[in-house]
């Protein structure tokens, strides 16, 4: 039988593995988190919650950003338009480039 500490450590490791594998299944993660409510100490529960927030706020955005950048580099015009819109919204200060097609 696993102790609570081993169980928490196992959950944290599972979250880290999912993060490394780019597995972003928020429903699965929320069900797992709900299942632990009241069964683990408050400190451990908050550690799990913090880890999930990090996973979805930082890592998922990085994966999406990389995928969009890859499409832009391949010449996908819709992706380039989206990239341009996102840059304008974020006020990145990047120089604006206008492509004029004379065909």
Q: What is the mean pLDDT of each run of 10 residues along the chain (103 residues)?
A: 61 67 78 88 89 80 81 88 83 58 63
**Which tens digit of pLDDT belongs to each residue from 69-93?**
888 889 889 888 888 888 887 775 5
* Spatial CA neighbour of 23 closest among 35, 11, 14: 14
Work out the end-to-end distance of the chain between its first and last CA atoms, rounded to an integer number of angstroms: 72
The Cβ-side half-sphere exposure at 37, using a 13 Å CA radius, reads 8
Q: Is the pTM of this model over 0.85?
A: no
Boundaries of every domain in the chain? 4-90
Contact (CB, 8 A) for 11 and 19: no
């Amino acid at each position: 039988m696993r102790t609570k500490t081993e169980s928490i450590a196992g959950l944290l490791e599972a979250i880290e593995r999912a993060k490394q594998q780019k597995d972003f299944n928020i429903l699965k993660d929320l069900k797992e988190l709900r299942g632990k409510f009241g069964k683990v100490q408050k400190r451990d529960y908050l550690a799990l919650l913090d880890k999930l927030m990090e996973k979805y706020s930082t890592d998922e955005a990085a994966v999406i950003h990389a995928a969009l950048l890859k499409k832009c580099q391949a010449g996908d015009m819709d992706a380039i338009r989206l990239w341009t819109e996102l840059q304008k919204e974020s006020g990145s200060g990047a120089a604006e480039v206008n492509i004029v097609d004379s065909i």
